[in-house]
A and B are shown apart, each in its own frame.
Chain A
Amino acid sequence: MDFTLRIVMTGAALLGLISGSLGTLAVLRRQGLIGDTVAHAALPGIVLAFLLSGSKASVVLQLGAAISGTLAMLWVQSVVRTTRIRFDAALGMALAVFFGLGVVLLSAAQHTAGAAQAGLDRFLFGQAATLLREDLLTMAVTGALALGLVLVFWKEVKLVLFDEAYAAALGLPVRWLQTLLIILLVVAIVIGLQTVGVVLMIAVIIAPAAAARQWSSRYGRVLLLAGLFGLLSGALGAWISNLAPRLPTGPIIVLLLTVLVLLSVLVAPARGLLWQRYRRRRARATAQQAVVAVLQELAHHHPEDYPHPTATIQAALGANVPVEAILRDLERRGKVQHKPGQGWHLTNPPHTP
């Protein structure tokens, strides 16, 4: 495997791991779309950082991105707190206004810095091929720091995510912890911008967490799985995009993640839709067998076509079995017959021994 591909794959895997696992912080609070605002709002920060420092180093640009992303979220929060405007409208407005400012700065950079701004375009749609070894190091260190913080404040993070009021009653500094969560999310997003771009970054935040949630009902495992899903899709996406020309990495990763979520929603044990359907069908079959068994038992002591009232069968099976519905179902399939006003009997009663 050639050197560039190895770098790109490692970078994409790292980003998937970090952004995917930290994405749970937003998705489990039903606020995944914060990620879209932060990602878009990073643009003016990136351009401004470049204009002010003259440097194209990822660390500098990412710092700018983090600052303007955080500013956008602070703006959203204070608008929601002080006006009638709802969270969704505030998010949408911050996203577009900050992005617009970014576009303005980008076009200004074109004049002042000439061709040098070309490197900034990569943050729009992402260009995994521009990843350097130093970038991997930055990602690894920032990611380790962010995940380390989650680990250190594990209990507190979990409590604030699940039950803010209780956390406050225990005396935890809830405001402070929420700010920590926002900063961690900003880190998760900023890390991926160079590879995936501001437009598609939201998917890397939301999809791994959404997929992982289907497979487990423990927060720890959901976080680990989300990281794993992100890692695999990142590495695989980078590899696929290398197979043929003109397969941009970002969209490939996003489509892989989408497939992963759809698969998870369908087949994950316990929560999967197909599993659920299978279980429901099996439960119905078991219930039908039970009803037939009762009728067979009754048939031993009565004439073959003696009708047994629903209440008799119900009494034998307990109140929470939907006997009436099951009998109608069996009737449709020709297993039992109904004598109106009297009751039910089997169509093929067992022979009395």
Chain B
Amino acid sequence: MSPALEILLVAVLTAAACALPGAFLVLRRMSLVSDAISHAVLPGIVIGFLLTENLQHPLLLVLAGASGLLTVYLIELLEKTGRLREDAAIGLVFPALFSVGVLLIAQLADQVHLDTDAVLLGELAFVPFDRLQWQGIDLGPRALWTMAGLLLMNVLLLWLLYKELTLATFDAAAAAVLGFRPILLHYLLMGLVAVTVVAAFHAVGAILVIALMIGPPATALLLARRMPTYLLLSLLIGALSALPGYGMARVLDVSIAGSMATMVGVLFGLVWLLAPETGLLARWRRHRRQQLDFALDLLLLHLLHHEHQPAATVERHQDTLPAHLNWTSERLNIILAEGQRRGWLQRKGPEVHLTPAGRARATQLVETLAPARSP
């Protein structure tokens, strides 16, 4: 395998592994917890590195995972005092833990050759140099195995807990009644996020991992209507954003992780603009069409409403209509023309009348108007 292919493969695996727990974070409105955890694992990484002198050591995963869980626990503890809101609690805990990490690195700079930039920004380009050997046989880059393992673990766990997590995400109370222990699930998910962040950090860095966790699920949310589609799309979009990201980094000779994060944003932007139903363009086109439909319905309803009132002749006079509906006469003319084209309106001199078809349409509208019923 060529080094370039190895890097690309690691990038794709990392992005896919991050997208899965991220998808649940986005739905649970906890996206910024990934922000908090990704910063707060720093002291865990530093202590682990201090003990093992190896950024790839499994102990780092454990320690960093533990500091991730500690972060979540501390945030909840502060929130529970009722003195701090969620945003303040998050924004207080992770900078404090990150500061501890930075201070540790600075103080131990003689013993520890840990570059804060590397932790923060990651360095995919070094992936091919750290290889796994077994009895003298080269098994490929170590990161490849770590990321594949991580992806496998995330897929497996989320597949096993799919039903429980989905229920706990949409209705925590129902999940509790059914005996699913939402708190346990919550901490399990948080643990998964923490481990994923730590495993991914040396590839993409502690901050860009947020892009891979939030970006692809957010993009998928624009396209998907059902849970399985949403998860699958998150996975695919994550993996997909790695490709142009790596390409851009190669062509321009810039940071791979940064390019991947940028491409996550570009991909989101494209979908946001062009998605078939929810995209800005489609919405704009539909909006234009609906506005006409809506205005026409409004006119039909207005005519029906006043049909049998003494003031009906005034209400349906083409000179009073613009003033009553607060429309310009040009707009009224466009809508009248459309109404006549559809056979719902007819003009009798200066008055506008409903045709039988128009009356039927308006009556049907009134019936469907029934609002959201109160329970």
State if A and B touch, Cβ cutoff 8 Å: yes
Q: Is B254 an interface residue (CB 8 A)?
A: yes
Which of the 9-residue segments B30-38, B165-173, B291-299, B314-322 touches chain A? B30-38
Residues in B lying within 8 Å of A, measured CB to CB: 26, 29-32, 34-35, 39, 78, 81, 83-88, 90-92, 95-96, 98-100, 102-103, 106-107, 109, 116-117, 120-121, 205, 207-215, 217-218, 221-222, 248-249, 252-255, 257-262, 264-265, 268, 272, 278, 280, 283
User: Hey, which chain A residues are within 8 Å of B214, CB to CB?
Assistant: 89, 92-93, 96
Q: Can you list 16 A-B contacts with CB-CB less than 8 angstroms, sorted by A residue number? A: A32-B87, A32-B88, A40-B207, A79-B272, A88-B29, A89-B217, A92-B210, A92-B213, A96-B207, A96-B208, A97-B264, A97-B268, A103-B121, A209-B88, A248-B106, A254-B98
Contacts A32-B88, A88-B32, A92-B210 given; does A97 touch B215 at CB 8 Å: yes
Q: Is the CB of A124 within 8 A of B81?
A: no
| A15-62 interface with B by 8 A CB criterion | 27, 30-33, 35-36, 40
Residue from A32, A111, A205, A251 in contact with B103 in the complex, judged by beta carbons closer than 8 Å: A251
Contacts A33-B32, A101-B262, A251-B102 given; does A93 touch B91 at CB 8 Å: no
Taking CB as reference atom, which chain A residue is nearest B206?
A: A199
Q: Is A207 an interface residue (CB 8 A)?
A: yes
Q: Is the CB of A104 within 8 A of B280?
A: no
Chain B binding surface SS class = helix
User: Hey, which chain A residues are within 8 Å of B249, CB to CB?
Assistant: 104
Please report the C-alpha to C-alpha distance between residue A3 and residue B213 in the assembled complex, in whole angstroms. 46
Please report the C-alpha to C-alpha distance between residue A86 and residue B31 in the assembled complex, in whole angstroms. 9
User: Hey, which chain B residues are within 8 Å of A203, CB to CB?
Assistant: 91-92, 95-96, 99
Q: Is the CB of B88 within 8 A of A93?
A: no
Q: Is A231 an interface residue (CB 8 A)?
A: no
Q: Is the CB of B92 within 8 A of A96?
A: no
Taking CB as reference atom, which chain A residue is nearest B88?
A: A210
Q: Is A326 an interface residue (CB 8 A)?
A: no
Q: Is A337 an interface residue (CB 8 A)?
A: no
Q: Is the CB of A33 within 8 A of B208?
A: no
Chain A binding surface SS class = helix
Contacts A33-B32, A206-B88 given; does A93 touch B99 at CB 8 Å: no
Q: Is A63 an interface residue (CB 8 A)?
A: no
Interchain Cβ contacts within 8 Å, total number: 207
User: Hey, which chain A residues are within 8 Å of B34, CB to CB?
Assistant: 92
User: Hey, which chain B residues are within 8 Å of A93, CB to CB?
Assistant: 31, 211, 214-215, 218, 264-265, 268
Taking CB as reference atom, which chain B residue is nearest A256?
A: B99
User: Hey, which chain A residues are within 8 Å of B208, CB to CB?
Assistant: 96, 99-100, 103
Contacts A33-B32, A250-B99, A251-B102 given; does A100 touch B260 at CB 8 Å: yes
Q: Is the CB of B211 within 8 A of A96?
A: yes
User: Hey, which chain A residues are within 8 Å of B260, CB to CB?
Assistant: 100
Q: Is the CB of B81 within 8 A of A265?
A: yes
Please report the C-alpha to C-alpha distance between residue A247 and residue B116 in the assembled complex, in whole angstroms. 14
Contacts A202-B91, A206-B91 given; does A248 touch B29 at CB 8 Å: no
Having A85-B26, A99-B207, one finds 5 other A-B pairs with CB under 8 Å, namely A27-B87, A33-B32, A89-B31, A97-B262, A199-B98
Mask, A110-142, CB within 8 Å of B = 1, is 010000000001001100000000000000000
Please report the C-alpha to C-alpha distance between residue A203 and residue B211 in the assembled complex, in whole angstroms. 21
Please report the C-alpha to C-alpha distance between residue A314 and residue B217 in the assembled complex, in whole angstroms. 60
Q: Is the CB of B265 within 8 A of A254?
A: no
Residue from B95, B117, B280 in contact with A254 in the complex, judged by beta carbons closer than 8 Å: B95
User: Hey, which chain B residues are within 8 Å of A246, CB to CB?
Assistant: 106-107, 109
User: Hey, which chain A residues are within 8 Å of B213, CB to CB?
Assistant: 92
User: Hey, which chain B residues are within 8 Å of A111, CB to CB?
Assistant: 253
- Central interface residue in A89, A213, A246, A261, by most chain B CB within 10 Å: A89
Q: Is the CB of A273 within 8 A of B81?
A: yes
Q: Is the CB of B96 within 8 A of A100?
A: no
Please report the C-alpha to C-alpha distance between residue A221 and residue B99 in the assembled complex, in whole angstroms. 29
User: Hey, which chain B residues are within 8 Å of A225, CB to CB?
Assistant: none
User: Hey, which chain B residues are within 8 Å of A103, CB to CB?
Assistant: 121, 205, 208, 255, 257-258, 261
A102 shortest CB reach to chain B, Å: 7
Q: Is the CB of B222 within 8 A of A85?
A: yes
